[in-house]
Structures are given as C-alpha cells and as structure tokens.
Structure 1
Amino acid sequence: MNEVTHPLHRTLRHPLQRRTLLLAPLLTLALAACGRDEQASPVGPVEIDAHTTCDLDGMLLSDYAGPKGQIHYVGQAQPVFFCDTVELFNTLLRPEQVKPLRAVYVQDMGLADWDQPHGHWFEAKDGFFVLGSKRHGSMGATVASFVREDRARAFMKDWGGHLLRYSEIKADMVDLSGGALHDGRM
C-alpha cells in the first residue's frame, strides 16, 4: 500500500488531526488521574437537614433518633444517607457492594443528642461501636457510634452492649432481613 492510499494517512492529512490522535492517549491518562485524585482527595461530611432522606427507605433522617450515617462514593457529588448505622453497615458489608468509597461518616453519640442527632460526624473507620445495647435508633436495635472508647464504655454502663471496632462488625450483626419482613402481625 502506498502512502497516498493508506486509510490512516487519508484521515490524518491535516496537522490538527494528527495532533488530536497524539493527544488522545494523554487525555485518557489525565482523566484516569482525575478519578484517582478524587479518590485520594479528602471529602468532608455533609450535614443533614429537614429534607434529607435515607437512601434505602426514603425516611426523613431528622424525624428519627439515634446515630445516622453517610457514604461518599467515588464519582458521586453527594453522599448517600442512612437513618441508622445498621442500614449503613448492612450496605457496606453486602457482598455486592463494589462501588469505590471515598469516605464513610457516622455521628459521635458521645456528643450528639440521641433524640435529635445533628453534627458531630467522624470517619467510621476510626470509631468505637456498641452493638446490642438497649438504646434504639430509627430501625430498632442499632449500632451506637463513638469517636472515643471511654465514651463508648460509659454508654455501655448505662445501656449495655459490647464494644467493637469498625473492622470487627460483620454482615450477620447488621442483618436487615428481620423486622416487618418477619412480623406476622402485619
């Protein structure tokens, strides 16, 4: 095939077309790097308001007591909110959960008002959690979240339960298949 009849040569006769072809791989790399930068860049918690709803069931978060949670996914501008930490952990620990995470926040119940929790968000991976207490959240039994271990232990003295770190919470501890699904009275 001679130079004049080669298909690529015919397409790239103009210098701008050749530059575009050469720049395309660089643009692809730059876009890929943006995704990595987004994943690496810190993202802060978003405060709930009177209109913030739970991603799983549409409940208004401000209408219910107990700790709330939020997940920030890579590629999503806004976090996904949960009206209860049980829902948050259930979502995180499902085997089909494959979306890359930027951050997971829960509320520090050592500082937040249990009945109307606002603010006091912290990264869940750094927390202490009380499972099995007599204190309930919006979905009934909940996982109380704390920044400090001493506050978690003080909560346990009043409300019972046992202390766990983030990595110790397992899917069977936050199973959502009970409740209304198995309530014969409904």
Structure 2
Amino acid sequence: MKTAALILALLALTACKEDQAKAPPPPVELTTAALSFFCQMNVLEHGGPKGQIHLEGYPAPLFFAQVRDLVAYMKSPERDARITAVYVSDMGKAAGWNDLGPNNWILAKEAQFIIGANVAGGMGAPEIVPFGDEATAAPFLDKYGGTLLPFTAIPDEAALAPVDLSQFLETPS
C-alpha cells in the first residue's frame, strides 16, 4: 500500500514539473534598453508593433523592432536554441503606432496577424501587424487593407520576400 502511495506521489510531482516546464516565460517589459536582434538599434526609436522571442538557456529575450523581422527569424533554420515563447505587441490595445505601452504583449500563437496591409513597420519594410482578436483588427483592415491570419498561416513571402523600399507605405498614427 505504501509503495502504491509513493508511486502516485511521484507521478503527481512529475506531472506538476511537466506542467511548469510547459508554461512559457513571461514577456519582458519594453524599455529603452531593448535592442533589435538584427540591427542592434534601439527598439523604441522605431514605430509599429514589436516582438520578443525567448530562447532556452538565454537570460533575456531577443527583441525585434518589426514583427516582420520576428517572423523572418522564426522561419529561419539557423537558430541555436529552442524557442520557449514568442510575444508580439497587441495593436488592438496599443494607444497608437508610436505608443505601444511597455507591457502590451500577447503570445504570438494567440494573436491574429494582418499581412499585405499598406503600412510600413519600424524598419521601413511592409509590416505584419498583430492583434488580439478579429474585432480589434477590423478597423485597421478597413483602413489599410490586408488579410487576417493566425501566426501559423503567415506565408514565407510575407517575411522573407525582397522589399522595394521605394513603394509608398503609410505610417499609421
């Protein structure tokens, strides 16, 4: 009887540890110390939605000044650590394109993304714009166009295709 109780207790502890291991790390507040992974420029000096990727074994996340860059990183096979969490700005909760708020993060897998909108992100390229839900994305879609998709359906070309920086893209207010 004692052996059975001990086995059940060990199984319960193992299950708890597995649940804790599956919980993503929390997002990190966006501050002036955040530098964009690809260009090492200050993230807050560029408008539009941002992203952060947490990697196993790394003490701080990788920040991205543009969600398009985050998606490009995710689609790249050249990563040297397991991804434990991906967060993006929820533009439905942002005060504006240049005022996201320091803690306005949503897990990328829970967000909806507008691709193909006539908007430039923080680095001047066409942006992939995240929203917490379809309802908050609707006014943006009406104004700037595009297609609403979940994170897993963003096509490679939305993040990896060459960019013509001479095209006119709007910068939302």
- State the match for 1:126 in structure 2: 110
Relative distance call for 1:115 and 1:109 in structure 2 (3 A) is same
Find the partner of 1:160 among 127, 145, 149: 145
**RMSD of aligned residue pairs (Cα, Å):** 2.2
- State the match for 1:22 in structure 2: none
Q: Structure 2: which 5+ runs fail to align?
A: 1-17, 167-173
- State the match for 1:135 in structure 2: 119
- State the match for 2:42 in structure 1: 60
- The whole-number CA distance in structure 2 between the counterparts of 1:158 and 1:50 is 30
Deviations 1:63-111 (A, max 9, x none): 1110000000111111000000000000001133463111000000011
| 3-state secondary structure, aligned to 1:142 | coil
- State the match for 1:110 in structure 2: 92
1:51 CA displacement: 2.2
Quick one: which amino acid aligns to residue 99 of structure 2? Answer: Q
Aligned residues of 2:116 and 2:158 also touching (Cα < 8 A)? no
Aligned residues of 1:124 and 1:166 also touching (Cα < 8 A)? yes
Structure 1 stretches of at least 4 aligned residues deviating more than 2 Å after TM superposition: 36-42, 95-99, 176-180
1:149 CA displacement: 0.9
Q: Aligned pair 1:171/2:156, yes or no?
A: yes
Q: Aligned pair 1:151/2:136, yes or no?
A: yes
- The whole-number CA distance in structure 1 between the counterparts of 2:62 and 2:122 is 17
| 3-state secondary structure, aligned to 1:51 | coil
For these two proteins, the number of residue pairs brought into alignment is 146
Between 113-122 and 69-78, the greater mean CA deviation after superposition: 113-122
Deviations 1:155-180 (A, max 9, x none): 10011111111110122210164467
- The whole-number CA distance in structure 1 between the counterparts of 2:161 and 2:33 is 24
Q: Aligned pair 1:71/2:53, yes or no?
A: yes
- The whole-number CA distance in structure 1 between the counterparts of 2:45 and 2:28 is 17
Higher helix share: 1
- The whole-number CA distance in structure 1 between the counterparts of 2:19 and 2:81 is 16
If the length of structure 2 is used for normalisation, what is the TM-score?
Answer: 0.76
If the length of structure 1 is used for normalisation, what is the TM-score?
Answer: 0.71
| 3-state secondary structure, aligned to 2:116 | strand
Percent of paired sites with the same residue: 31
Between 63-72 and 51-60, the greater mean CA deviation after superposition: 51-60
- The whole-number CA distance in structure 2 between the counterparts of 1:96 and 1:105 is 20
